[in-house]
Amino acid sequence: MKPSTSRCPESSGLGEILDDLRGGSGEPILPEPLLTSAELTLAEPDALNLRNEFLHGISNQARAGEAAMILQIGFALALTIQLGPVTSEPAT
């Protein structure tokens, strides 16, 4: 578990949210490939980390490929929130 955000202890940081979506000891809320993609795209310091790139002002223009990756992750999160977590058993 990653440490809580020091500036706003009542809120969770992106790393904590991604850890929560992994499901801890239970079933993951999102499929593993999507979680890994989100982590590498948005949070991992040694990877693409577009969150730092744009929210910390390193870059002020997104290319089409970067925008597409962010949109895919956002749509997947929105669908998961709307439809519920992924289950390993088919719905009856």
Convert the pLDDT of each residue in 21-71 to its tens digit: 887 767 777 778 888 888 888 888 888 888 888 777 777 787 888 888 888
pTM score of the predicted model = 0.63
- The token duo for 35 is 């979680």
Cβ contacts of residue 31 below 8 Å, gap of 6+?
A: 86
Largest CA distance in the chain: 48
Instruction: Specify the pLDDT at position 80.
Output: 73
